[in-house]
Structures are given as structure tokens and as C-alpha cells.
Structure 1
Amino acid sequence: MIFNPCFLIPCYNHGRTLLAVIDALQTDFDYPVLVIDDASSYPTQSIINTLKAPTMVHRLDNNQGKGGAVMAGLKKAKKLGFSHAIQIDADGQHDLNALPELILNAKKYSNNIISGAPIYDESVPKGRLYGRYLTHFWVWVETLSFSIKDSMCGFRVYPVGAVNQVIANNNIGKRMDFDIEIMVKSFWEGIDIRFIDIKVIYPEDGLSHFQPIADNLRITKMHTCLVFGMLRRLPKLLLRKKPKAEKLEHWSKQSESGTYYGMKFLLGIYSLFGRSVFKMCLKPILYYYSLFSKKSVRASTLYLQYLTEYMRKNNIPVTDNLTVYQHLLSFAETMLDKLAAWKGDFTPENLTINNRDVVEKAQNSPQGCLILGSHLGNLELFRALSQSYPELKINALVFTEHAPRFNAVLSAVNPDANLNVIEVNKMGPETAILLSQKIEEGEWVVIVGDRTSTTMSQKVIWADFLGHKAPFPQGPFILASLLKAPVYLLFGLRNESSQQAHFDLHFELFSSQIILPRGKREEALQSVVEKYAQRLQHYTLKAPLQWYNFFNFWTLTGNDDEK
């Protein structure tokens, strides 16, 4: 397919912002602009009448609604010979800096719908935000998929021929229900949908055509019909395959799932109704996820298999709740715990600190320390709760780019969430020097010891974990030896026996200083890593469902046989 697009702008009384949008498009792009005037009033019509080529205008005699205007524009685009229509709202809400990436994806995946997935600032009305996430939930149900990350954003590229066929085959809503319905029915007809992140703002004096009562009733009716439509298509939807074949990837390259994206919606539920209602909403989502998220289910199944084999071999009682569903549910609850902690909902009363004397000794030392954590339990919780102790400065090395949406939610909950975060994927000599300075100033540095480097995944030490050899990164332990500081272990585990949210922090001295002598460096490194693996295993057995490495932990990227 030859890529021959046009910009498609539906407009109803947005004359004040329309010209600025068109000027921005024509400054940076050579594509024609097609404006659909949805029977605007005279002031906007007079502005539209001033538009000149290469801008084209198609005027509707009667107001059709946004959906009607877009459908009229798609039909016009097909008649004019365009291959794709790049839909942009006339109100100026969308960040046009994202257009190059949107267009690049449309060229690469020419048969797909490419859509923006909004990242909002504080200007978004909270009522519309929470309503949006409720819509996300129903769309997941209607498609039996997390593929549609956002169904309401008007920043899209449509393949003109394919989408016009969807419109011809279906009765599509013409007003605020259009954006959602065209996504769901396109998905039903086999069109894959891809997303890029975009920033969206709501100007204080912005004009909205959303009618709360009429449009909400219209959307509710639409969702009811779509759910029944899903039931008729149930076998077909269950057999539908993802657009891209799965490959064994390094953990850092695995894209975040709909569970992360849905955390914004679930956070809203938690804020409004509390933890109990949150958990009720979470269960059906996680039940579906446990059935159809192949990568996570495969990783969880392998982990639980190794875990139970080890427990039986060592005469450790195996409980009935060691299932994939319960494992994923525990992970989702921990995501909420992270956000709730930053939100300030937890106090020291929610926390039991084991070995408090060890903590106080480390805190009172003029020299800082290195803390080795893991993806067992909730390391974020400790960093959040430490905000209650301003004299304690903690710096965390994290792979922040692995979950940009979750970090965006975290930052929205608490603007200070990323205050002392250092991205581990940018680790270099300057970072090591910075960390050394922080430790000299009495600060703490936290790094995880259970994930291989994003750039040097082959530099590992193999050690026993749950009865099988697993690769552990060399980096954290070499860094610890270079910093010449005390090393502690930290595990934050949720107390599952407590009715209220309660957590146990386990803080213990790992080594007063890790020394890797010349000539025996490899042997010393092997010994240190094995000791870490043993302690990690010890605490994993205390809280087996709080193991959150959802990839094949016992293999290197692309190599299942190397041990």
C-alpha cells in the first residue's frame, strides 16, 4: 500500500483554535488537510471560509456529531484517493509533537489503526478521567483483550479502505460513542490497533461538546450492545492471535501490559471507594489476565512448579493458594500498595520493622550504605515510607523506562516520587562516582540484585535458587565492592494474615564490606552471589506469592540451555 495520507479535522464551532492547529500542521508537514465542517455556526463558518489550498473543506448541511463528521470525512478521503486519514481534534488538546511517531507507525503498520494513548496533566477534569477508565474496563470485556489501551482519544491514523468497510458493515454511533465503537468493531473485524503515548491538556477556557446526561446514556446503551455482540463472537475472539509472534526477550524489553495501564482506573476506584471495592474490581480483570496473558502465565507457572517441587523435597508444607491467579492478584495488590504508600495512606503503624537495632545502627553511622533489594515483595514501599523520616536520604537505582505508564501514575500521585531515582540503564563511571559521594555524605543507595543488566545480560553468576541454577547479575556486587561501604539486605513483605494493610520489613547486614581480591575475584564473586541467592530464597519461602519476576528467571535472554 502506497502511503498517501491526509489530515482529517472534524470541526464544530472550534474556529478559534482551528487555524492554530492547521498552521502547525502545514508548518511541519506536506500532507493535505481535510476539514469537515459539522454545520458550525456563522462565526466558525466565516473562519473556515478563509482557508485556502492545500486545505480542503467538506461542509455538512446538518450537524451530525463528531462521529458523523469523522465518518463523512473518511468517505470523502476515500473518494479523493487517500490511503490514510490522520484524525486530529480541532480544539488543540493534542500534542502535535507526537505526530512523527504516529505517522512512522502508520507507515510501518499500514493496515493497522494507530492511536494515541493519552497521558494527562493536572488540567484533566477528574470526573471525565475516572469515566474514561471505566470505559477502558468495558472495552477490555467487549474485546476479551487488553489490546485497546485507550478507545476515546481522537488522535488516530485510520487505514481509509479498511475502516470504511467496517463502517459499511456495521451501525456505528455518530456522536461521542463513535470513537469507542469504531475501535471495538474494527477489532472485531480483525484490524489490529497500536498505540503511542501522547500528552493531552484541557485548556481552562476550552469548548467541550460533551453532554453529560445524553452522551452518558448513549455510551451506556452502546456498551450494553457491545457486550452482547462480544458474546456472539466469543469463539472467534478467544481464538484471535496477537499481531506479533512472541519471542524470548530480556526482561527489560517486555512491554508493559494492560494491568499497568489499568492501574490509573483502579487507583481512582481505590481513592473513591477504598481497598475492599478495589479488590472486588481487580478480581475479574486478573481472572481474565490469568487465562490469556501467555508470557506472565508461563513465567508464573514455571516459578510455581520449581517452588512447589523445592518445598516438597524439603518437607515444607505446600498451601492450596499457590496458583497463577493468586500470584497475579498478589502482584496487582502490590502495585496499589506502591501508589497508596506514595499517596500517604500508610503510616509507621502499618509497618513492622524486624531487626530495628540494625536499622538504627545503619542510620546513625556517618557513612552511608548500599542496600541490596529484589523483586520479592515491595521495595518501593520502604522508599515511600522513608519520607516520614527526612533525616534519612535514600537513592534508588531503578529501570524507570521499563514501565513508563506506571511511573507516570506514580508521579501524578506524588510529584516527589522520582526525587531520588537514578536510572540504572544509564549506569556509567560518572554514576559510580555520584553514588560514592552520596555514601560518603551518609546517604543510602538501593539497588536490586536479582535482574540482569539491560546492556550486559551475559555478565552473570549462576547460583542455586529453588533447586535450579539461575543467572544473577555481577554488576550490583561489583559496585558494592567499589563503593567500599556496608551492604544490607532489605525485603518488604505484605503480611497476608492481617485484615488491614500491614507490612513486615526485614533489614539485615549482608557484609560489612564486599572484597573481591585480585587473583581470586571470580571465586569471591561466586561466593557473594550464592549467599545473596540463599537469602533471597529464604524470604521467598516466607512470602511465595510475592515473587514478581514475570519472566523465565532461570535462563538468559534467547538461550534456554546455558546454565
Structure 2
Amino acid sequence: MTNFRPCFLIPCYNHGKTIPAVVELLMSYGYPMIIVDDGSENETKRILEEVTQHNESITLITLAENQGKGGAVIAGIEKAYQQSYSHAIQIDADGQHDLEALPKLIAESQEHPTALISGQPIYDESVPKSRLYGRYATHIWVWIETLSFAIKDSMCGFRSYPIGPTINVLERAVLGRRMDFDTEIMVRMYWNETDIRFINTRVIYPEDGISHFDALWDNVKISWMHTKLFFGMLPRIPSLLKRKPVQEDHWSSHAERGTILGIQFLLWIYSTFGRKVFSLLLKPVMAYYYLRGGSVKDASDDFIQQVNAYARIKGIQLPEKLTTYRHLVSFGETMLDKLAAWRGDFSDKNLTVHGIEHYQTLAQREKGIVLLGSHLGNLELCRALSRRHTHLKINALVFTEHAERFNTVMKTVNPQSEVNVIQVSKIGPDTAILLQQKIDDGEWIVIVGDRTSVTKENRVIWADFLGKPAPFPQGPFMLASILKQPVYLMFGLRDDTQKDPLFDVYLEPFSEQIILPRGKREEALQEVVQNYAQRLEHFTLKAPSQWYNFFNFWQLTGKKDDN
């Protein structure tokens, strides 16, 4: 964007102790700043004058009386509009936001200049539990008010506002000016067809931090805000249902729907009412996704069309009639299965292990092994297997930014779990060293082989899958080669012919050791990947409704690789 001209916007109310450090950190970016003194006490006023008096790049706005956070942000956005800035990047003055995420926020704002970019908090242990649970209550209301899961967090003050669309909303409606502002402006901008995008950011609550949240009056204002937004949503239902969600091309960019509260809510339903009630509630939820359409439904349609065409050509009788709605319901049921597996609800009675002799032998090895899995069925069943040998520790590699949050969530479900989730952005020497140490300690490494790299999408091997060439990542197979240990395949498929949750777990040897000779690496890698694709195809045809790659599996996005 050639006219990307942002400024930093810092609302400040009695944060004299922390704002100098925030300003100093922001100075290195070279962008002008607007600081709004929201009726602070004299000591903070004095500090603000010292910070700004010799710096022409800082505009200080002084409000005679405290307006609340929303009032301060509105004043700053209006000033940014008057000074012809394109974006106002809001930073809280209390130092809660991790400014290491700021370059990503700025880059995302440059790439999507008309979108509101917001932080999605990752909290540490310092977060007050009352605050955390209160946020999730707001999340649920926002999902209702937008008829969408597009807004993952509406309360984080780490944002980049596009000035034009924001002013447009401010001119049309009278918004709350205190703690209700952050949520209301985001919902109304969504109503106004502004895209809302998120980046992960760490948020801390310092022990000596100052909170201006009034438990009584701010909750009253927030309740009134949600009342207004709910009734404002009703006449907008047709347009909201027609609105297509933001399309993300690469699988790793697809928005996560789950949160700690969501998982706990699912567990509460499951624990209180049982699986039957959960399944009944699941159907209208998945019907909503089906009627709403979007990339998930499109990907399901493409897969069903491909697998049906392949089955007809090969004369294969599929075990079930496939529909997109049934596909989505199957995914929901597998999400419950994953939670139940983490919670430890599945035992040997639920599993039929094909290849149990391999498992018994491998569990006694001094060194670990590599397990190649996929997004077919339920790979979480390896947790049920691990309980047969309490000394066995399993590490699952994932290639998204959500692993740390997922670890935290699942540890709340089962603190005793012996399966660790390791997040990596790319497979490099440091990753190989870490995993080699775990292998030497007798731990197992689980890695999926059916999704392209987050950072190096074009490093793929094309292999035939269901009658059509598909791109498979090089990384998992090269990593297995580096680790120089036996490689096994594992697939966990639910038996949908049974009322009770029963599963077939398939454990089979893939390679005693993947060897990629230097002179013939490409040919050897092609053979290895094609063998994997053939086994993945074999098991996919056993349970096609349990295929959970909800993106266009047979093509790349065209995204350039990171350097």
C-alpha cells in the first residue's frame, strides 16, 4: 500500500509509571504518536509533558475530564483523521501488550489496509481468572451479534484501525466510551462489512498494574451494549447470513474456532448429559455451518466429488453415502473424541489395535521411533495407547502458532497427559537436534505428512492421491530420514456402525529407516512420499467421512515461500 501512513495511538489514564518505557520502545519504528491524556492526575500529566515536550513527532491531547478508554480512543482516532493518517495503531499505556508482535500487526495492516487488525491474546499465569472467564462470556455474545465466529477476541486493545472505515462507523452511531467501546466498535465495523483479522500476541498482567475496570458500572454498561447489539443484529440477519467469511488460502491460516471456554463448554455438555445429548446439540450447529457455506463447505464438496469419482472409476464400494452435512457432523464428533481421548475416557475396550505386536515390541525399545500420521480420523488415540506403558512419552509436532495455546487448554483437561505438543514454524537444525534428543531418550515423535509447510509451501512432492496429483510436504519425510529411526504409520478410525465409541487403530511399519542418497535424493523422496500417499488413500477409502483436511488438498495457493 503506497499511502500507508500510520500513527501510534496511546490512551493514558494515570499510567505515568509505565508510559515512558512504552514510548521509548515505539520510537524505534519512526511513526508519529498521538497520546491521549484521559483526565489523569497531576503526576501523570507532568510525566507526559516531559515525554512529549521536545519531541515533535508526538501529539499530546489533554481531555479536561476522564472520558473512559473508549472516549480517549475516539478522540485519538478523530485527531488521526484530521492529520490525514491512514491507520491508528492502538497501544495500551500500561505495558500489558507484548510489543514483539507489533511488526506482525503492522505488516498485516499493510497487506490488508481496509481491515481492522487486532491482537488475539495468549495469556500467562498472571491473568485474573475472573477477567478470563468474563471475556469468554463476551465472546459468546459477539458470536451471536455477528452470527459468525469471525471475531475471535473483541476486547484486546492491541489494534490497527483503518481510519476511513472507523470514522464511517463513528459518524453513524453513538458508541460506548468506556470498557464497552472495544467490543462495540469491532461488532459495528463487522456489520459495516469491514474485515476483522487477528494475530497472536502475549498479554501479561503485572502485579503492580493499575486496572480502571469498575466491576459494577462497567458490567452494567457492557450488558446494555450487548442488549443494543443483539437487537441491532436482528434486522441485519439476512445480510449477516449472506456474508462470506474471510477466505484464507493456506491451511495454516484457517481460523481456529476453539477456545478454552469452548472446550470446557463441550466437556461440560459431554460430562453432564453424555454423548447422546452432545450429538443432538451438534447437529444444528453443523447445520448452521452447512447453510452458511464458506471455504470449509467448499473444501468438503470438492473432496466428496473427488472421492466419489475415484470410487466409480475403480469400482470401489464406499462404506457410506457421503454428504457435506454428514462430513461436518463427523468432524464435530471427532472433536469430542479428541477431548475424550485427552481426558482419558477411552480404554482398551474402545480400541481394536491392528498391529498390536508392533506396538508391544516398540514400547520396549531404548530409542524412540517416528510415527507418521495424517488428518484422517483421530490421531489423538495415541494417548489411549500410551497408557498401556506409563513410561512412554509421545511428542506431537504441529506447524501452526496455536500449539502453545492448545497445550495449555489440554493440560486443563488432563494434567497427567503424557503427550506433548511441540510447535515449530519450520524444520531446521535446531528442530532436528531437539527431536534427536527426545529419540535418544526413548520418546516417540508424531508428525503428520499430509499438509504443506507453513513457511516453505512450494517444497513439495507431487504424488497421486485418489486419482489426482496432490502436493505433499518434503519436511516430515526428510526429518524422519535425519532421525535415522524406524518409521511407522498410524491411523485411528471411528467405527460409525456402532452406537458406543469404538475405534480401529492401525499401526504398521513404513520403513526401517528412510534413506535419501545424496545423488538420488529426489527420486528416493518421490518413492517414499508416493508410498505414504498410497497408504493414506487406502485408509481414506475405509472412512471417507473422517477426512478432515478442509482446504483444497490438490493445489497450492501460489503463496511465495518465506526467506
Q: What TM-score, normalized by structure 1, do the two folds share?
A: 0.79
Q: 1:475 Cα shift?
A: 6.9
1:256 to 237, 253, 257: 253
Which SS does the other structure have where 1:296 is aligned? helix
Question: Is 1:10 paired with 2:11?
Answer: yes
Retained in 2: the 8 A contact 1:2–1:83? Answer: yes
Retained in 2: the 8 A contact 1:266–1:278? Answer: no
Q: 1:176 Cα shift?
A: 1.8
Structure 2 alignment gaps of length 5 or more: none
1:126 to 122, 126, 129: 129
For these two proteins, the number of residue pairs brought into alignment is: 545
Q: 1:32 Cα shift?
A: 3.0
2:98 to 95, 106, 110: 95
Retained in 2: the 8 A contact 1:299–1:550? Answer: yes
Distance 1:213 1:538, change over 3 A: farther
Task: Specify the alignment match of 2:539 in structure 1.
Answer: 539
2:406 to 397, 404, 409: 409
Retained in 1: the 8 A contact 2:318–2:542? Answer: no
Distance 1:344 1:217, change over 3 A: farther
Which SS does the other structure have where 1:184 is aligned? helix
385-394 or 118-127: bigger deviation:
385-394
Q: 1:185 Cα shift?
A: 1.2
Give the Cα separation in 1 of the matches to 2:117 and 2:438.
45
Task: Specify the alignment match of 1:371 in structure 2.
Answer: 371
Task: Specify the alignment match of 2:169 in structure 1.
Answer: 166
Task: Specify the alignment match of 1:177 in structure 2.
Answer: 180
Retained in 1: the 8 A contact 2:463–2:472? Answer: yes
Task: Specify the alignment match of 1:153 in structure 2.
Answer: 156
Question: Which residue identity is paired with 2:406?
Answer: V
The aligned runs of 1:446-461 (5 Å cut-off) are 446-451=446-451, 455=456, 457=458, 460=461
Q: 1:531 Cα shift?
A: 5.6
Question: Is 1:34 paired with 2:31?
Answer: no
Deviations 1:376-435 (A, max 9, x none): 112244157526735335455x4x33x31254222453398885748594257x977987
Q: 1:122 Cα shift?
A: 1.9
Give the Cα separation in 2 of the matches to 1:65 and 1:280.
44
Which SS does the other structure have where 1:233 is aligned? helix
Give the Cα separation in 2 of the matches to 1:472 and 1:110.
33
Which SS does the other structure have where 2:185 is aligned? helix
Question: Is 1:84 paired with 2:80?
Answer: no
Retained in 1: the 8 A contact 2:19–2:94? Answer: yes
Deviations 1:450-471 (A, max 9, x none): 4456647575363453x55655
Distance 1:521 1:205, change over 3 A: closer
507-516 or 265-274: bigger deviation:
507-516
Task: Specify the alignment match of 1:218 in structure 2.
Answer: 221
Q: 1:310 Cα shift?
A: 5.2
Task: Specify the alignment match of 1:326 in structure 2.
Answer: 326
Give the Cα separation in 2 of the matches to 1:417 and 1:393.
5
Which SS does the other structure have where 1:9 is aligned? strand
Which SS does the other structure have where 1:326 is aligned? helix
The aligned runs of 1:231-246 (5 Å cut-off) are 231-240=234-243
Retained in 1: the 8 A contact 2:346–2:384? Answer: no
Give the Cα separation in 2 of the matches to 1:120 and 1:112.
25
Retained in 1: the 8 A contact 2:386–2:418? Answer: no
Give the Cα separation in 2 of the matches to 1:145 and 1:186.
14
Distance 1:365 1:113, change over 3 A: closer
Give the Cα separation in 2 of the matches to 1:418 and 1:513.
24
Retained in 1: the 8 A contact 2:371–2:490? Answer: yes
Task: Specify the alignment match of 1:140 in structure 2.
Answer: 143
Give the Cα separation in 1 of the matches to 2:473 and 2:252.
21
Which SS does the other structure have where 2:92 is aligned? coil
Task: Specify the alignment match of 1:269 in structure 2.
Answer: 265
Give the Cα separation in 1 of the matches to 2:80 and 2:518.
71
The aligned runs of 1:329-340 (5 Å cut-off) are 329-335=329-335, 337-338=337-338
Give the Cα separation in 1 of the matches to 2:524 and 2:25.
61
Give the Cα separation in 2 of the matches to 1:441 and 1:191.
51
Give the Cα separation in 2 of the matches to 1:318 and 1:261.
30
Give the Cα separation in 1 of the matches to 2:11 and 2:73.
6
Which SS does the other structure have where 2:75 is aligned? helix
Question: Is 1:316 paired with 2:288?
Answer: no
Give the Cα separation in 1 of the matches to 2:504 and 2:195.
44
Give the Cα separation in 2 of the matches to 1:27 and 1:491.
50
Distance 1:11 1:350, change over 3 A: farther
Which SS does the other structure have where 1:209 is aligned? coil
Give the Cα separation in 1 of the matches to 2:363 and 2:523.
32
309-318 or 9-18: bigger deviation:
309-318
Give the Cα separation in 2 of the matches to 1:49 and 1:516.
65
Q: 1:443 Cα shift?
A: 5.3
The aligned runs of 1:371-450 (5 Å cut-off) are 371-382=371-382, 386=386, 389-394=389-394, 396=396, 398=397, 400-401=398-399, 403-414=400-411, 419=420, 421=422, 423=424, 425-426=426-427, 444-450=444-450
Distance 1:272 1:51, change over 3 A: farther
2:119 to 72, 92, 116: 116
Distance 1:220 1:347, change over 3 A: farther
Which SS does the other structure have where 1:507 is aligned? strand
Q: 1:200 Cα shift?
A: 0.5
Distance 1:14 1:317, change over 3 A: same
Task: Specify the alignment match of 1:548 in structure 2.
Answer: 548
Retained in 2: the 8 A contact 1:371–1:444? Answer: yes
Give the Cα separation in 2 of the matches to 1:156 and 1:61.
25
Retained in 2: the 8 A contact 1:269–1:278? Answer: no
Deviations 1:100-159 (A, max 9, x none): 333344444444322222111122223332332343333334334443332111112223
Question: Which residue identity is paired with 1:371?
Answer: L
Question: Which residue identity is paired with 1:160?
Answer: I
